[in-house]
Structure 1
Amino acid sequence: MGQDEHEGGAEPVSGGGLAARMLARVALLAVVGVLVVLVVAVGEAGLVIVASGLVGLVVCAVGSWWFLAYRGVRRLLGAVVAIAAPVAVVVLFTVAGLWLTALLLGVCWAATLTCARTALRRSDPRRTQRARRAVAAPRPRRAVLIMNPKSGGGKVGRFGLVERAQARGARVVLLDPAAPVDVAELARAAVADGADLLGVAGGDGTQALVAAVAVEHDLPFLVVPAGTRNHLALDLGLDRADPSRSLDALTDGEEVRVDLGSVSGRAFVNTVSFGVYADVVQRPEYRDAKAGTALSAMPDLLVGAGGRRLDAHVGEVALTAQQALLVSNNPYASPDALGGTGRRPRLDSGVLGVLGIRVEGAAQAADLAVRGSQSAGLTVLTARRVEVTSATASGEGAGEIPVAVDGEALRMPTPVVCTVRPRALRVLVPRDRAPAVVPAPPLDWRRLLRLAFARTPTSS
């Protein structure tokens, strides 16, 4: 992807044109308005609102850390503090007669952020890249789709995917939940039988295994989002609410090329997790009681003797003693990826995204809550190669570490090496799919200023 900045002078308006420039100006005016209200109209009350809001955020973060990192009375106290802090701030605003002013400032600041991010998104050339990368694709004659009837709570049956795929000329291989099989071998058998397209109705983990076979034989690949989250489908712009719409690609499709990640020789389409999350998902009880298992394990993993620390070489950068690492096939737009809500603006950038977390105590948890991605506890990087190693306090299992590949719990010998194969996977997508929403770029005030005062281009 090209540079965000132009060399010298004002940045020409592109993409969103005049609308982006006007939104940028509205955002800057809203910032000025907020400052005026705080300094002039409100006076000392403005300082009270800002200070109490900041203190409430810090105290809430400290309480949340105690709740996650400890058991017993300290955990109970943490829960009380985390809940009481925002409640106390609201009570303070109400008693002091500041709630209306605080609400007004909050609305103004929200409008500022909304206008600023919308302006940056409208002027971002990534908005049109996805459509330009797609090329016309011939209709497959011997498509083979592998479907997991249990995936996503039974979406295959609920949406009639078998019948709909067969009506479009595809052969369906339905997995038997009672007899686990190697889906990669099923895909290779389909290729040997003459398949000219491979597809999967299932989650990201199954998608990755079959996608690797498609890359191996240079065949197009069809994504049918019948899993629980299906991040790959989300970032391709597919309709996860109705997976049957992806089958339209069999009769009226186009092809896009995307990257395919590899972790120690195993393909992944979304993320590879190391550390706290990977340790939790290894536990047998996790599938039936996710929240309870995580809360039970967190104290040992965060501050106890069972906590694993990770070292990694991310390109030329060395990370040490990380509690968690997340390596993604292309970078996510924000650290929200750790919560499962992030988006990848591109799937063909040719690099891995890396998020590292190291929070050793309540103070660092508060710093992370206040400063976000600028906190020393969070590292955001990109690289073509990532090497991860680990040494536990007891030395047990030092030769291998837990790894969660596209949500699947595995163990791999160290060092675990993650790489990316640029534009290796040919994905067949429906031509009339809804355009994928490009996430708002990071809030860059300097870029916003250049956009607000940019010159209008004289020619196309």
Structure 2
Amino acid sequence: MTVIPFDEVPQTRRWWARAAYAAVVCAALVPLVAAGLAGTIALLLTGAGGLVVTVAGIYWFLISRGVMRWCALGLAILAPLVVLVLFIQAGLLREVIITLALGFVALVCARAALRERGEGKAMAEHPAPAWRHAFLVMNPRSGGGKVVKFDLQRKAEELGAEVALLEGPGQVDVDALARQAVERGADLLGVAGGDGTQALVAGIAAEHNLPFLVISAGTRNHFALDLGLDREDPTGCLDALRDGTELHVDLGKINGRTFVNNASFGVYAEVVQSPEYRGDKAGTVLEMLPDLIRGDKGARLRAQMDGITVDGPQAVLVSNGPYGSNDVAGLGRRTRLDRGVLGAVTISAASTREAVGLLRRATKHGLIQRTAAEVVVGADVPEIPVGVDGEALIMTTPVRCTIEPHALRVLVPRKRPGVPPAQPALDLVRLRELAWGRHVSAPPAPPEPSVPPSAVPPPAGGGS
């Protein structure tokens, strides 16, 4: 984590952070002042008790299972409600409303302070060449059946594309399918499916310097989001076949395999390995969280990032381009995909308390964020589980992650929603630094993308 001198932080962000703290202080003082001296002690004890019970409930929810977990969650929800009722019974309804309003003001000010400025210009667009034989792979099971729901096969074939459905029987070799299409003369490849399938075919398109069409028919479509595509209606992605433009984006490589989003090790990779993960991601994470927080599972990892070594992290996330400074789990977005660097995040928690603190964004102790050209993850075992674009894999150690700048020519519609603005997470440590600290921690600024000679697009032409 780099350090920005306090006097280089924009003045407006500092005042927004201070305003957030001022609103919190006022919110706490309003009921105390109204209660008078006699009632102040009782209110303080009531509020402090509610806070302790809420924090304890969240803590036990994260580290427990079964009935104990849901009792803890109920306690964490019930405690602030009980405090609220007690305040109202004390004749402080008006003060409670004012306090809640000030809490909302504090949240708005905090987000204004934490919002990153100067994210850079949009990715450069290049003329799209004419195509004659577009080959699209479509997974009818992906994204809850979006291929069928939006009638993507028929619409693509009406535009002149060849479509291959991954219907089986059995497991379909997507790699072989795409390579055979190239041998038959395909000059454009595309995928309607999840990010794992997108990455596999994207690697083949990059290998043959062919345009690649992303159709957002997966469940989360993180890659499509960062390309500025419409995740709700994948039909719009097909407009690129009629009126498209090219973006030249980076590709990540992990032990020779392509990834478009990220590769995860340790905690998250263990979760992805669970057979139940595909059907119930949230439930699987909750079920495995206690063991993972305590460090009861997984090999001991060692991450090397351009000369920096982190020994024993519980989790490592390597991404195709850095995520926002507040995103330590790869759940957010990347402002651009052509910076030519990997994003790297490691989390090392020495205790359950530290792990919970990181989850609550109340501390950054044990958190390292970097950009790097190469990340190598070793372990004390010959093989480790790795989550690659949400796919569960077992890889031989050491696992080497690299970046191929501007390796992929992505065909996108000329008219598309664009990349939405990032919403900052409520990072309490960073907010405190902005308001009162002498320095502000921040990830190193990624380098401005440069266009290698190999990325110069071919001559422009009309559509098919």
User: Shorter-chain TM-score: what band?
Assistant: 0.7 to 0.9
Q: Of residues 175, 182, 190 in structure 2, which corresponds to 1:199?
A: 190
* Matched letter for residue 208 of structure 2: H
Match of 1:17 in 2: none
- Cα drift, residue 89 of structure 1: 4.6
Match of 1:87 in 2: 81
Match of 1:246 in 2: 237
- Relative distance call for 1:363 and 1:138 in structure 2 (3 A) is same
- Cα drift, residue 204 of structure 1: 0.3
- Relative distance call for 1:421 and 1:339 in structure 2 (3 A) is closer
* Matched letter for residue 129 of structure 1: A
The 2-side partners of 1:52 and 1:321 are apart by: 41
Q: Of residues 58, 62, 76 in structure 2, which corresponds to 1:64?
A: 58
The 2-side partners of 1:437 and 1:366 are apart by: 29
The 1-side partners of 2:140 and 2:215 are apart by: 12
TM-score normalised by the chain length of structure 2 = 0.78
The 1-side partners of 2:320 and 2:385 are apart by: 19
* Matched letter for residue 274 of structure 1: F
Q: Of residues 99, 122, 132 in structure 2, which corresponds to 1:129?
A: 122
- Relative distance call for 1:158 and 1:350 in structure 2 (3 A) is same
The 2-side partners of 1:36 and 1:63 are apart by: 24
* Matched letter for residue 302 of structure 1: I
Match of 1:284 in 2: 275
The 1-side partners of 2:139 and 2:48 are apart by: 48
The 2-side partners of 1:149 and 1:102 are apart by: 51
- Relative distance call for 1:195 and 1:125 in structure 2 (3 A) is same
Alignment of 1:381 with 2:370, yes or no, is yes
The 2-side partners of 1:87 and 1:114 are apart by: 25
Q: SS of the counterpart of 1:286?
A: coil
| Correspondence 1:11-410 to 2 at 5 A | 27=16, 30=19, 34=23, 37=26, 60-71=54-65, 75=69, 78-91=72-85, 93-95=87-89, 97=92, 98-116=95-113, 121=117, 124=118, 126=120, 128-130=121-123, 133-303=124-294, 305-336=296-327, 338=329, 340=331, 342-368=332-358, 371-372=361-362, 374-391=363-380, 398-410=381-393
* Matched letter for residue 348 of structure 1: D
The 1-side partners of 2:17 and 2:44 are apart by: 20
- Relative distance call for 1:110 and 1:167 in structure 2 (3 A) is same
The 1-side partners of 2:78 and 2:28 are apart by: 29
- Relative distance call for 1:37 and 1:66 in structure 2 (3 A) is closer
Alignment of 1:423 with 2:417, yes or no, is no
- Relative distance call for 1:290 and 1:256 in structure 2 (3 A) is closer
Identity across the alignment (%)? 48
* Matched letter for residue 353 of structure 1: G
* Matched letter for residue 122 of structure 2: Q
- Aligned residues of 1:65 and 1:362 also touching (Cα < 8 A): no
Q: SS of the counterpart of 1:344?
A: coil
TM-score normalised by the chain length of structure 1 = 0.79
- Relative distance call for 1:296 and 1:33 in structure 2 (3 A) is closer
Deviates most, 191-200 or 180-189: 180-189
* Matched letter for residue 431 of structure 1: R
* Matched letter for residue 424 of structure 1: A
- Aligned residues of 1:57 and 1:369 also touching (Cα < 8 A): no
Which runs of 5 or more residues in structure 2 are unaligned? 437-464
Deviations 1:241-273 (A, max 9, x none): 110110111110000111101111110001111
Which runs of 5 or more residues in structure 1 are unaligned? 12-20, 392-397, 450-460
- Relative distance call for 1:191 and 1:110 in structure 2 (3 A) is same
- Relative distance call for 1:297 and 1:197 in structure 2 (3 A) is same
Deviations 1:394-415 (A, max 9, x none): xxxx210011111111100111
Give the aligned length.
422
- Aligned residues of 1:302 and 1:360 also touching (Cα < 8 A): no
- Cα drift, residue 299 of structure 1: 3.5
- Aligned residues of 1:139 and 1:250 also touching (Cα < 8 A): no
